[in-house]
Amino acid sequence: MEAIGSDAPGWPGIPARWTSSAKSGVGTSRGPASRVWFTIGHGILNEVYYPDVDTACTRDLGRRRTPLELR
């Protein structure tokens, strides 16, 4: 199968980097079976860890709000 088109917009993206170490929170689910942990810093969800506490899966997860949600 051949690739269609050219490189993705914004290619190659931002360089890999570590998130800030200035965390304001860390958490997990209340349930005893939870295997997900997270950290919070600078008002955003910084890192999500799964399936164990030393395996980071995401970095700087954010959510944008639309004008309809702000009403």
Count of domains forming the chain: 1
18 compared with 25, residue with greater pLDDT: 25
In a domain, 11, yes or no: no
In a domain, 48, yes or no: yes
Q: What does the pLDDT look like over 8-19, one tens digit per residue?
A: 776 776 666 677
Q: How confident is the model at residue 25 (pLDDT cuts 50, 70, 90)?
A: very high
In a domain, 70, yes or no: no
Q: What does the pLDDT look like over 28-51, one tens digit per residue?
A: 988 888 889 988 888 788 888 888
In a domain, 55, yes or no: yes
HEC per residue, 1-46: CCCCCCCCCCCCCCCCCCCCCCCCEEEECCCCCCCCEEEEECCEEE
